[in-house]
Structure 1
């Protein structure tokens, strides 16, 4: 049986309906959240709740990165040399791009946990099969 994961699906998570896919999804989702989330049994027992909290957490991180980009030059110019300020901005841009991918992946995992399945795509169009 082919199990299909769409483009943007996290590599650490097995495709929907593959053996133990939900276990790998829970592990990946927990890796995206603060470590304290691991202590809440309800989040392991109800992966949809974990996926939703993960999405909210990542969205908050994205908001923080946007704020950092908007304020870094002003907030840091008196405390750091300009090259360090620019390097900080570059780090924020990199983080912003990473977070966009995590948010997309978390959304895909969430809809799969809610029961959505993804159609197979033609080979070479970015689908993963197992």
Structure 2
């Protein structure tokens, strides 16, 4: 539960319904993280143009590096939240060799 709360903005902790109903929290967390993935993709696509002339080239490249790290991290987080939500809903899982990569 705390892990899901860590995946959303801190203000979400104020809503009792999200604390009482982890499925609702997981659903909202997934929407939030998916939106962050899309925002990171858009930011990455436009950062070089948007920041050119405002930052030195090495700083622009550093910003792009942040997006290169954050994008995949957010995608992994979204996948993890999806699995948690499925488990909270009672979906059955079958272990396969692909789960061990």
| Category of TM-score, reference length = shorter chain | over 0.9
Q: TM-score, normalised by structure 2?
A: 0.92
CA RMSD of aligned residues (A): 1.7
Inter-partner Cα distance in structure 1 for 2:37 and 2:10: 18
Paired residue total? 101
Please report how far the alpha carbon of residue 119 of structure 1 lies from its aligned counterpart in structure 2 after TM superposition: 2.9
Matches within 5 A, 1:1-130: 26-121=1-96, 126=100
Give unpaired runs (5+ residues) of structure 1. 1-25
Encode CA deviations 1:36-78: one digit per residue, 9 max, x unaligned: 1111000011111100000000011011101111110111011
Shift of 1:88: 0.4
Greater fraction of residues in helix: 2
> Higher relative contact order at CA 8 Å, sep ≥6: structure 1 or structure 2?
1
Structure 1 residue 120 displacement after superposition: 4.3
Note the C-alpha offset of 1:121. Answer: 4.9
How high is the TM-score relative to the length of structure 1? Answer: 0.72
In structure 2, runs of 5+ residues without a counterpart are: none
Q: Which runs of 4+ in 1 moved over 6 A?
A: none
Instruction: Report SS of the residue matched to 1:42.
Output: helix
